[in-house]
Amino acid sequence: MSLLMAQFSLCAFSVCFIRNNKEFGPVFIQEPDDGIFSLDSDDKKVIMNCEARGNPVPTYSWLINGTVVDTEADFRYSLIAGNLIIHNASEAIDYGRYQCRAENSIGTVLSRDALLQFAYLGAFSGRARGAVSVREGQGVVLMCAPPPHSPEIIYSWVFNELPSFVAEDSRRFISQETGNLYISKVQPSDVGSYVCQVKNTVTNARVLSPPTPLALKTDGVMGEYEPKIEAHFPQTVLAAKGVTVRLECFALGNPVPTITWRKMSGNIPKKARLRKSQAVLEIPNIQLEDSGSYECKAENTRGGTAFRGHLQVYTLPQWISMINDTQLDSGEQLHWECRATGKPRPTYRWLRNGEPLNSQSRVEMVNGELIIHRLQQADSGMYQCIAENKYGAIYSSAELKILASAPMFSTNPFRLIATVGKDVSLECRPRASPKPRISWRKNDRRVQPSRRIMLLRNNTLRIINSSRSDEGSYVCRAENQFGSAELTTVLLVKGKRPSTTSSPHPVTVGESVVLSCKVTHDPSLDVSFLWLLNNQPLNTQQEGGHFEYIQTSSTADMMIRSILLKHAGKYGCRAQTRADSWWHLFPGPPGPPGVVIVEEITDTTATLSWSHGVDNHSPITTYNVQARSPVSLGWQTPVTGNMESAMAVDLNPWVEYEFRVVATNGIGTGDPSASSRVVRTKEAVPSVAPVNVRGGNGRRHELVISWEPVSEEFQNGEGFGYIVAFRANGTRGWKEKMVTSADSTTYKYRDETFPPLTPFEVRVGVYNNKGDGPFSEVVTVFSAEGGEEPREPPSEVQAFAISSSEIKVMWKPPNPGPGRPQGYEVSSWKDMEQEEMGKKKRTKGNETTMLLTGLDGNTQYLISVKGFNNVGQGPASSPIKISTKKNAPSLPPGNLMWIQEGNNVSLSWDPVKARDNESEVIGYKVLLRQEGRGHSQVMRTPNSAVVLTLPEGGTYIIEVRAVSEGGEGAASTQVRVLTSSGKRSLYGFSDLKMCTYDLYFLSAMSDVIIVLAE
């Protein structure tokens, strides 16, 4: 069926294309895209795609860096259709910007630029690296010095040997800008050998540097010193709108410095996130308003230092208005305008047939406008407007066609039949360029305009209140400098126009009704009827017998039986003769109101207005105004009324809303209007306080306060944050701390003076740029009891592959002592990947086993386990390696055959053969369930056949799966079997003695069809 449909569609398209043989210039369907080609590829072939439609069919050529590529002279280049193939591509010769040029007899167009780059990753220098010696407590920077590469690379550091990677934290940082490893305060555990690993983001190739040994000096321990920022973002950061920006900042110092960020003018965007122990400020989907100066500050108990840089956001040009194909008469004036936005502001230039267009006496080009005076035939062709700034260019193309032809009519002389008293329009629409002069005559006499006979601007002859005397032969003559043509129309005027009467009835669901349409008309003219539902022709054959059409010479009745809700709507009857037509419309629900206009917006209200839609012959009684915001569950109805204006109230401040209106009349409720533009309510002071304020846990001498964050819907404005207030029980003054992140849920306060489990009164308030909002209820929170994180890792870690996607992990808890774990975290990552890229899963309690699921088949994983408690995480166990089993067979059991004898079903199938990368089949699982029930019975068998005994009475579904060490394979085609109550028989044939069974298997269906033969 699908193949036949595809052939039919293709033929239909071909016929359409042949019939529409109009010539037009090239229009790009596909333009070349920027690309990165891997030099490590086995196939040293680059394909730059280009396709255009046009009539005649376009031909193609290519430019690299503005120079035409000679595909005839250079054997490395070839053209297939419009695609450029580059053989034995090399960076030295083929790197650059490419453009496709498409041309035919109408004109030429150029594609956008496409940058071709090459991906490669060189090797590190083999020269040995010297050891680095520092004192304990001193900071150090280990240099990566990456090899030549393109494009970006990802840096990581190996500690001593693979797969032990350096884990980044507040003390250790790997810059993805320089590749260097920064350790703010060296500890004895840092002593070892460090290797820089770089990975190409395109080819995934990896190379390792020579090792850099790190040793401790023996001449003493480094004392405390103030921070020094060693890694930071550039003084000026340029970023394209919409990308993710990552600003780095890391400092050496003893004690380990704390990094904080701020934006000098305004607040850091709410969408920003802090990564790598606050050393990276990540701003996704960067926008123009995110531009500005950003500062990172490093502080410890010895002092602080800061670095400040400026973030500039640029945007590529984007079209506001483009040029379109235009046809003009010779001698007229062309005025095209294209407009684009961008930062910096775009400039404009124009091409004609792929070549720069220069200002001349007839040609003006100013700020995206092109004006050509006194058009000539030579001005025809393909034009392109280019909007560009320093970051990119966009192209808009259009064809200019200059017309020059004698008048010509597309229709032959014809007769027009009208009714006495009806207005008549005789059209005269010749094709001609330039526009022709028009004159009318009747029966060889020039038609003189009067109060009843008018010549309209479009050259139509209009006769008001026609009569028999207006009958005759009317000739329209069109003439210009290239020739003339005439069109004759014979006008006949008949005596009576048709009129209809009808008798609609209100009905309810389940009833039947007859809609009657009667017509009176001139008996010399035949009349035809057409029924419509909601302005669409009513097809009575597709409505399941609910509609019946009964017609006589002057009536057309529509009977609707057993009316359903879906039959509601606007019904219309049209009666038509050759001379006239007449409509009768039955009442229906109203049409959609006009567009909703937001006239005024406050922090909680919106004043709206709209225009009424069609009432469909039943007066509108009410309007329902509906509102929707990003956080609402669909459309809500804040107000109802009967006027074309309303005020929506009880809106939330600083929330984006859109509005629409639904009208209702006596027949029903119509479709909603189009949505209004999205508007944001004004800012206001926050009115909702945080809830579920609580505390506990933390380190000794810490007070940990947490709460549920206030959703964005109730933040009421920009600059939203929290005010955390607390005081020890029995004291009077509140300590208040500002938390500037709207997403924060926790605040920690440390004071060495208060003992464990000190009770505090705590409350959390809210604020934004408009002012302070309410506080939560006061609750009592106790300071931390104290304690330590786990000191030792779990021991005797073991792992067993259960299937292709499951691994079971077991371990023993560490020895009893301080820092007892309250749970365990299992990390799993693929070999040759960093641990950070893997998955982490925690136990629910002190369990010492875990089942890892969702893994890749036939893949080696590394697994480690660490304990955790309220204070923090302990050290991880040494990674162990384990491989998942091969994947389960991908092929289902095929060629299912079955024979039913009463309630016994003999089922067989072709054995499944596993592929090389799949687990061997060790048996099969047969699943049986009664139709309509979810529970399945399971039978396992090592063979490819089985006999099932089914309960009496019901339809049963059977399917088969192969079973292997890697798990269960794909399910077979389902088989449906019917068992009968009482006597055991096949499909109810109780006297059937001898039967043969012809089995037909349908690959595209889930049922098996059985044909019985004596």
What 3-state class would DSSP assign to 56?
coil
Mean pLDDT of all residues in the chain? 84
- The residues, any chain, with a CB within 8 Å of residue 463's CB and separated by 6 or more, are 423, 424, 425, 426, 452, 453, 470
pLDDT top residue among 894 and 1004: 894
pLDDT digits (tens, 9 = 90+) for 428-483: 988 888 888 999 998 888 988 888 888 888 889 999 988 888 888 899 999 988 88
Instruction: Specify the pLDDT at position 994.
Output: 26
pLDDT top residue among 631 and 525: 631
The residue to which tokens 């000679």 are assigned: 70
pLDDT digits (tens, 9 = 90+) for 120-132: 999 999 899 999 9
Residue 146 has pLDDT above 80, yes or no: yes
User: Any bridge partners for residue 417, and if so which?
Assistant: 492
d(CA 489, CA 879): 95
The pair of three-digit structure tokens given for residue 691, joined into one six-digit string: 């809830």
- The residues, any chain, with a CB within 8 Å of residue 442's CB and separated by 6 or more, are 472, 473, 474, 475
Are β-strands 759-768 and 24-30 bridged in parallel, bridged antiparallel, or unpaired?
unpaired
d(CA 809, CA 797): 7
Residue 460 main-chain phi, psi, to 5 deg = -75, 135
Q: Sign of torsion, CA 952 958 962 965?
A: negative
Of the candidates 61, 87, 119, which is a domain's last residue? 119
The answer as to whether 5 is a domain residue is no
d(CA 514, CA 559): 4
Q: Are residues 875 and 941 in the same domain?
A: no
Percent of the chain with pLDDT over 90: 41
DSSP 8-state class, residue 345: P
Q: Structure pTM?
A: 0.48
The pair of three-digit structure tokens given for residue 245, joined into one six-digit string: 């920006």
Cα–Cα separations (whole angstroms), residue 555 to 361, 521, 607, 652, 661: 70, 11, 51, 58, 39
pLDDT digits (tens, 9 = 90+) for 215-236: 999 888 888 999 999 999 999 9
273-292 average pLDDT score: 91
Residue 1006 has pLDDT above 60, yes or no: no
The pair of three-digit structure tokens given for residue 73, joined into one six-digit string: 């002279």
The answer as to whether 16 is a domain residue is no
Contact 159, 166 (CB under 8 A): yes
Q: Are residues 801 and 756 in the same domain?
A: no
The residue to which tokens 């119509």 are assigned: 670
Instruction: Specify the pLDDT at position 544.
Output: 67
> Which band of pLDDT confidence, cut at 50, 70 and 90, is reported for residue 19?
very low
Q: Are residues 131 and 153 in the same domain?
A: yes
Contact 525, 494 (CB under 8 A): yes
Q: Are residues 803 and 858 in the same domain?
A: yes
The answer as to whether 105 is a domain residue is yes
696-715 average pLDDT score: 86
Contact 589, 566 (CB under 8 A): no
DSSP 8-state class, residue 327: E
Q: Is 550 exposed, middle or buried (0-12, 13-18, 19+ CB in 10 A)?
A: exposed
Residue 999 has pLDDT above 70, yes or no: no
Instruction: Specify the pLDDT at position 1013.
Output: 27
Instruction: Specify the pLDDT at position 977.
Output: 83
Neighbours of 633 (CB within 10 A): 7
d(CA 813, CA 440): 106
The answer as to whether 588 is a domain residue is no
The residue to which tokens 């870690």 are assigned: 797
The pair of three-digit structure tokens given for residue 386, joined into one six-digit string: 């280019």
- The residues, any chain, with a CB within 8 Å of residue 412's CB and separated by 6 or more, are none
DSSP 8-state class, residue 91: H
Q: Are residues 115 and 129 in the same domain?
A: no
pLDDT digits (tens, 9 = 90+) for 385-428: 999 999 999 999 999 998 888 888 887 777 887 778 888 888 89
Instruction: Specify the pLDDT at position 11.
Output: 34
Lowest-confidence segment of 287-296, 812-821, 922-931 by average pLDDT:
812-821
Q: Are residues 330 and 353 in the same domain?
A: yes
Q: Are residues 570 and 601 in the same domain?
A: no
Residue 940 has pLDDT above 50, yes or no: yes
pLDDT digits (tens, 9 = 90+) for 82-135: 999 999 888 888 999 999 999 999 999 999 999 999 999 999 998 999 999 999
pLDDT top residue among 195 and 528: 195
Of the candidates 67, 101, 119, which is a domain's last residue? 119
pLDDT top residue among 14 and 238: 238
Q: Are residues 112 and 64 in the same domain?
A: yes
- The residues, any chain, with a CB within 8 Å of residue 267's CB and separated by 6 or more, are 718, 719, 740
The answer as to whether 961 is a domain residue is yes
**What dihedral angle (degrees, nearest 10) is formed by the CA atoms of 558, 562, 568, 573?**
0
d(CA 230, CA 831): 32
Residue 566 has pLDDT above 80, yes or no: no
- Residues spanned by the domain of 392: 322-403
pLDDT digits (tens, 9 = 90+) for 654-694: 999 999 999 988 878 888 999 999 999 999 999 999 999 99
Give the distance from CA 232 to its chain's centroid.
34
Q: Are residues 633 and 551 in the same domain?
A: no
d(CA 226, CA 750): 21
> What type of residue is 979?
T
d(CA 753, CA 701): 7
Instruction: Specify the pLDDT at position 14.
Output: 31
Neighbours of 349 (CB within 10 A): 14
Residue 326 main-chain phi, psi, to 5 deg = -140, 140
Residue 886 has pLDDT above 50, yes or no: yes
Residue 639 has pLDDT above 80, yes or no: no
Contact 872, 949 (CB under 8 A): no
Instruction: Specify the pLDDT at position 496.
Output: 56
pLDDT digits (tens, 9 = 90+) for 297-317: 999 988 999 999 999 999 999
> What type of residue is 173?
F
Residue 1002 has pLDDT above 50, yes or no: no
The answer as to whether 10 is a domain residue is no
Q: How many domains does the chain have?
A: 9
Cα–Cα separations (whole angstroms), residue 215 to 156, 189, 347, 609: 20, 10, 59, 76
Are β-strands 355-356 and 347-352 bridged in parallel, bridged antiparallel, or unpaired?
antiparallel
The answer as to whether 243 is a domain residue is no
d(CA 470, CA 377): 44
Q: Are residues 396 and 414 in the same domain?
A: no
In angstroms and rounded to an integer, the radius of gyration of the C-alpha atoms of the chain is 41
Instruction: Specify the pLDDT at position 501.
Output: 53
Length of the chain measured in residues:
1014
Q: Sign of torsion, CA 887 890 895 901?
A: positive
Q: Are residues 31 and 115 in the same domain?
A: yes
The answer as to whether 131 is a domain residue is yes
**Residue 215 half-sphere exposure toward CB, CA atoms < 13 A:** 8
DSSP percent split of the chain into helix, strand, coil, nearest 5 = 5, 50, 45
Q: Are residues 455 and 473 in the same domain?
A: yes
- The CATH number assigned to the domain holding 214 equals 2.60.40.10
d(CA 89, CA 39): 8
pLDDT digits (tens, 9 = 90+) for 828-871: 998 878 887 788 999 988 899 999 999 988 899 999 999 988 77
Of the candidates 119, 137, 162, which is a domain's last residue? 119
> Which band of pLDDT confidence, cut at 50, 70 and 90, is reported for residue 631?
confident
